[in-house]
Amino acid sequence: MGEIKEAELPGLGKKYVVRLDSGDRFTVVIYDEGNRELFCFAPEEEEPLCSVTLTDQEARQVGSIIGGAFYQPKLLEKLESAIAELHIEWLKIAPNAPLAGKSIGDLSLRKKYGVNIVAVIEDAGKGKKRTAAINPGPGYVFTPGQTVIAAARRDALEEFERMVSVEGG
Amino acid sequence: MNDLLYNIVFVFLMATVAVVSARKLHFSSIPLLILLGVLFGPHAPYGAGFDFRLVKSTESVELFSRLGMLLLLFYLGLEFSAGRVIKSGVTILKGGTIYVTLNFLRGVGLGWLFFHSWPEALVVAGITTVSSSAIVTKLLVELKRTANPETELILGIMVFEDAFMAVYLSVLSGYFLAQGTSFVVGLMAGFITVAFIFAVLGLGRFMSPYLDRWLNFRSGEPLIMVVFTLLVIMAVMAEKAGVTEAVSALLLGLVLAETSHVKRIIQLVTPLRDLFGAVFFFSFGMGIDCRQFAPVALLVLAALGATIAGNFIAGIAGAWVCGYRGRPLVNVACTLFARGEFAVIAAGLAGASGSAGILQPLAALYILLLSIISPVLAKKSRSIYLGLDKAWRLLSRHKTESFAG
């Protein structure tokens, strides 16, 4: 984890210096009028390697891209974010998972387990675009390869995870 | 048909040209405004076939310019808070004190050398001491130095200088009102003004909950009306009480800075300050006859030399105390050269008090030349550092050799 230092720039805004594990320093200046300026410093260097200026809108867009809202790296298909008691997980359905081929209604996920399916992202085939079923109904059938975004309490999610992953594995 | 309106049109046309082209040229607007004021004001050059005297100094222009000055100082008061100075840290307090003290002493010395009289020495110190925070901040952003470690110090020094300016202007205006008396009496009057300000500030702190409730308007319209009216009333009352209106505006800003509405007031006042402030700088230029530039040229050159040398040393010393070494030191010293709004205000105060008429063209030429020199020096800080480093190494090697020999 990077170590973050915050400094006030009176009349301009705020500065955040993130010391990365690699030794690089990454500096973000947030101007009072909304622009963000990003600087990258190699270890022990005083001149930045590069710098970028973003408007407020662009900074938010880039921020959500970095946060992974648009695309999850393949290796990290299981992504979890937790707010208070609510846990949200992105889970990929394994080829021979217990729930493959069953519908949400068959499993009565909500009634029995207290798990809400927020969305299911279809696996992209060759030449096909990824599509997502947002808030799927009880008739929705799970197939292997899909990524399920589920919201529930911690314990319920753990049980759900077993249904999604490989049997016995 | 309507001379008054035509005149105003010309004033704003020139001011707009100055501000817009300053933006395009990545230059500060203040020197350009002054320059256009000199070029097209009542003292502008004219001759066979051409006449640059487009703008007359009418009552309305003067009024706008006075409002500009009031708003500039009101804004300084609003932006200033003791909390901010303290928050910027003990090191910056140390560095800022050293920087401002060295510069101010250098300024007073210079003024005394020029005029051999205290009021002028104080004004020269005011003109040459305080950097223009607007220009310096712009420079930092343009040179992409906002991420550098020394930038916090530079901006901290700006905050410190603003605070110093508030005190200095009060002392100066008090001093000028007691004019004609001895130095000590004048200075006493200055300090009485400062004491008065602290008293009002104390009162303001006590009154702030009441002010908070009283100014609690949902929409901006009544708020700006009340604030602006207060500003004008304070100016009139100050005149009656024998304080300069500049100080009254500063004071009102300081008092309102204690309320919870500061942020909104700053938002409402900033465009007004920009609008009338431009007229203030323009009209400062209008008051200057460019033929006056010739006799002050030598003084200006001397002042420039002293400022650049003195400022460099003060900057290095201030940054050294704050624990900076090497290149950041030179960066700090090279970024703080620009002078602007406060120099004009100090010179303007001197003019209003009937002090030497030579000070205004001096200030104008000084600001103009520095505004050209300072960005170059700031950009070259890397090569300046390398040069100094080389010179230092050569010198120290020379020393060791002579020791050996």
A67-119 residue pLDDT tens? 776 766 655 555 555 566 777 888 888 888 888 888 888 888 888 888 888 88
Any A CB within 8 A of B141 CB: yes
First-to-final CA distance of chain A: 31
Closest by alpha carbon to B72, among B255, B286, B279?
B279
Q: Which amino acid is at B210?
A: Y
Alpha helices in B90-150 (DSSP H): 90-115, 118-129, 133-142
Q: Which positions in chain B touch A37 (Cβ < 8 Å)?
A: 144, 146-147
- Angle (CA) B112-B115-B116 rounded to 5° is 55
H/E stretch holding A80 reads strand A79-83
pLDDT at B1: 47
Please state at what angle helix B341-352 crosses helix B118-129, rounded to 10 degrees: 160
Q: Are A37 and B147 inside 8 Å of each other by CB?
A: yes
H/E stretch holding A3 reads strand A3-9
> To the nearest whole angstrom, how far is the Cα of B206 from the nearest Cα of chain A?
27
Length of chain B as a residue count: 405
pLDDT at A74: 56
**Residues A79/A72, Cβ–Cβ less than 8 Å:** yes
Per the structure block, which two tokens stand in for B129? 């001491």
Per the structure block, which two tokens stand in for B298? 């030598």
Listing from the earlier edge strand, what are the strands of the sheet with A3-9? A3-9, A13-19, A25-31, A36-41, A50-54
Mean pLDDT (chain A) is 81
Residue of A nearest to B153 (CA): A9
Residues 66-85 of B with CB under 8 A from A: 84
**Residues B338/B29, Cβ–Cβ less than 8 Å:** no
**Residues A86/A151, Cβ–Cβ less than 8 Å:** yes
Best residue in B87, B146, B327, B382 for a mutation probing chain A (most A CBs within 10 Å): B146
**Residues B234/B252, Cβ–Cβ less than 8 Å:** yes
Give one DSSP letter per residue of B298-322, joined into a string. HHHHHHHHHHHHHHHHHHHHHHHHT
**Residues B119/B179, Cβ–Cβ less than 8 Å:** yes
Q: Which amino acid is at B144?
A: K
Minimal Cβ distance to A10: which of B144, B148, B155? B155
The stretches in chain B having pLDDT less than 70 are 1-2, 47-52, 81-88, 177-183, 242, 351-356, 399-405
**Residues B204/B258, Cβ–Cβ less than 8 Å:** yes
Q: What is the pLDDT of residues A28-57, one digit of tens each?
A: 999 988 899 999 988 887 788 888 999 999
Q: Are B152 and A7 inside 8 Å of each other by CB?
A: yes
pLDDT at B144: 85
CB neighbours of residue B237 within 10 Å: 12
Is the pLDDT higher at A143 or at B350? A143
Q: Are B87 and A8 inside 8 Å of each other by CB?
A: yes
Phi, psi of B7 (to 5 degrees): -60, -45
Q: Which positions in chain A touch B153 (Cβ < 8 Å)?
A: none
Q: Are B88 and A10 inside 8 Å of each other by CB?
A: yes
pLDDT at B405: 42
Residue of A nearest to B328 (CA): A46
> To the nearest whole angstrom, how far is the Cα of B147 from the nearest Cα of chain A?
6
- Angle (CA) B250-B255-B260 rounded to 5° is 130
Q: Which amino acid is at B187?
A: L
B261: helix, strand or coil: coil
Segment A2-10 mean pLDDT: 83
A156: helix, strand or coil: helix
Is the pLDDT higher at A148 or at B58? A148
Any A CB within 8 A of B144 CB: yes
Q: Are B146 and A12 inside 8 Å of each other by CB?
A: yes
> To the nearest whole angstrom, how far is the Cα of A64 from the nearest Cα of chain B?
23
- Give dist(CA A38, CA A40) in Å, integer: 7
| Partner residues linked to A86 by β-bridges | A83
- Give dist(CA B88, CA A8) in Å, integer: 8
H/E stretch holding A117 reads strand A116-121
> To the nearest whole angstrom, how far is the Cα of A112 from the nearest Cα of chain B?
51
What single-letter DSSP state applies at residue A111? Answer: I
H/E stretch holding B273 reads helix B262-286
Q: Which positions in chain B touch A12 (Cβ < 8 Å)?
A: 137, 140-141, 146, 155
Residue of B nearest to A52 (CA): B144
pLDDT at A79: 54
Q: Are A10 and B141 inside 8 Å of each other by CB?
A: no
Reported confidence tier of residue A58, pLDDT bands at 50, 70, 90: very high
ipTM of predicted assembly, 2 dp = 0.71
> To the nearest whole angstrom, how far is the Cα of A52 from the nearest Cα of chain B?
10
- Give dist(CA B401, CA B387) in Å, integer: 21
